[in-house]
Amino acid sequence: MRMLVTGAAGFIGGHLSDKLLKEGHEVLGVDNLSAGSLENLPKHKEFEFMRFDIRSRKPMGEACRGVDYIFHLAADPLVKESAERPIDSFDINVHGTVDVLEATRKAGVKGMLFTSTSAVYGDAKLFPTPETHPTVPISNYAASKIAAEAYVSSYSSTYGIRGTVLRYANIFGPRSGHGVMHDFYFKLKKNPDELHMFGNGKQTKSYLYISDCIDATVTAFKKQKASFDIFNVGSDRTYTVDEIAGFVGKHMGLSPKYSYEGGERGWVGDVTKMRLDVRKLKKLTGWKPKVSMKEGVRLYLEWLSTQKV
Ligand SMILES: NC(=O)c1ccc[n+]([C@@H]2O[C@H](COP(=O)([O-])OP(=O)(O)OC[C@H]3O[C@@H](n4cnc5c(N)ncnc54)[C@H](O)[C@@H]3O)[C@@H](O)[C@H]2O)c1
């Protein structure tokens, strides 16, 4: 099949493109390189790349010609920044998704998989949190993702475009240029004696290694039965921010003093407790995470040690 991956030069988009190529598909990657890097793009004869903004209708329409399926990952994924730049996250994540859906509809593409986030549940009342839990966003980022999910649903129902929404937990691994482990690693490189953290260190979240996220993504795409469906993607274990600091410090052979800033939330819009119920995806597809937290952290930190700040 011919697949289009938006955000292909990003962390998850690069890995997903690799996987789709490995499975024998042709892949067209689209990215404006606002955050991504050409280094993340596959070097493969069945891979093509187009650099443009997903909100540019002409190239988006042209890119969709002859495409069987779209994996829409391009987004402004930063929670903290969405408080400072609310219009940007709306424009890219909501308006941009509708632009991609419009191009999908006009070109007769069969379906779209959309990457959403665990943040849509806000301060959930039930753990692990199932897909049926109310969504009460506490950040502009999460609000933009919920609005985009709604459009994927409405395009599916109105125009018969198969729609998949994946609500990811925190994904980590090589090529990721943001997130708590990245932040701690480079802070400790600068100052091995002290680690300054946002929040009180007690925020408790679930993390999933990139290869398990990619397997879940491709498996959900293959096995989904309904014309529109939503799946949580995460792991069953949770870790506090203090525990993550412990993993990073231990790997680096350091015992820094911890200092904290803010209150129970690391920043405005930070969800302090997140654990997704992933039984729906497991039951339908048989998928389950394979990489332990210990192994995933080791692989990611080894990769980070090859990177410049
Ligand atoms: N990484 C995580 O932990 C996580 C968790 C939940 C959800 N997600 C979602 O998964 C997707 C991928 O996240 P990621 O971590 O790989 O982020 P990323 O920032 O590494 O990748 C996003 C890519 O989109 C591109 N992009 C941004 N705006 C664009 C635009 N207007 N036009 C074209 N390209 C544009 C960027 O250049 C970047 O390469 C996002 O939709 C994100 O919201 C990620």
Expressed in angstroms and rounded, the spacing between residue 217 Cα and the centre of ligand 1 is 15
Confirm or reject: Cβ of 93 under 6 Å from ligand 1.
Answer: no
Expressed in angstroms and rounded, the spacing between residue 73 Cα and the centre of ligand 1 is 5
Question: Sorting pLDDT into bands at 50, 70 and 90, what band is 285?
Answer: very high
Confirm or reject: Cβ of 170 under 6 Å from ligand 1.
Answer: yes
Architecture of domain 173-206+236-274+290-304: Alpha-Beta Complex (3.90)
Q: How many CB atoms within 10 Å of residue 280?
A: 17
Q: How many CB atoms within 10 Å of residue 236?
A: 14
Buried b (16+ CB within 10 A) or exposed e, 47-67: bbbeeebbbeeeebeebbeeb
Expressed in angstroms and rounded, the spacing between residue 247 Cα and the centre of ligand 1 is 26
User: Is the confidence at residue 140, as pLDDT, over 90?
Assistant: yes
pLDDT digits (tens, 9 = 90+) for 245-267: 999 999 999 999 999 998 999 99
- Rounded CA-CA distance 35/299 in Å is 23
Q: What percent of the chain is modeled with pLDDT above 90?
A: 99
pLDDT digits (tens, 9 = 90+) for 15-62: 999 999 999 999 999 999 999 999 999 999 999 999 999 999 999 999
Q: Is residue 128 a contact partner of residue 277, using CB atoms and an 8 Å limit?
A: yes
Confirm or reject: Cβ of 135 under 6 Å from ligand 1.
Answer: no
Provide CATH code, domain 2-171+207-233.
3.40.50.720
Q: Is residue 90 a contact partner of residue 119, using CB atoms and an 8 Å limit?
A: no
User: Is the confidence at residue 309, as pLDDT, over 80?
Assistant: no
Query: What is the residue-averaged pLDDT of the chain?
Result: 97
Of ligand 1's listed atoms, the one at least distance from the Cα of 40 is 39
Which residues make beta-bridge pairs with 168? Answer: 117, 233
Residue 141: Cβ-neighbour burial (10 angstroms; 0-12, 13-18, 19+): buried
pLDDT digits (tens, 9 = 90+) for 189-221: 999 999 999 999 999 999 999 999 999 999 999
Ordered by start, the domain boundaries in the chain are 2-171+207-233, 173-206+236-274+290-304
- Rounded CA-CA distance 28/48 in Å is 5
Look at residues 5, 14, 16, 23 and name the one whose alpha carbon lies nearest to residue 216.
Answer: 16
Q: Which of 85, 99, 115 to mutate to test the pocket of ligand 1 (most atoms within 8 A of CB)?
A: 115
The sign of the CA dihedral 219, 221, 227, 231 is: positive
Confirm or reject: Cβ of 82 under 6 Å from ligand 1.
Answer: no
Confirm or reject: Cβ of 256 under 6 Å from ligand 1.
Answer: no
Report the nearest-CA residue for atom 34 of ligand 1. Answer: 31
What element of type H or E holds 50? strand 47-51
Expressed in angstroms and rounded, the spacing between residue 287 Cα and the centre of ligand 1 is 23
User: Is the confidence at residue 308, as pLDDT, over 90?
Assistant: no
Expressed in angstroms and rounded, the spacing between residue 38 Cα and the centre of ligand 1 is 14
pLDDT score recorded for residue 57 = 97
Expressed in angstroms and rounded, the spacing between residue 274 Cα and the centre of ligand 1 is 20
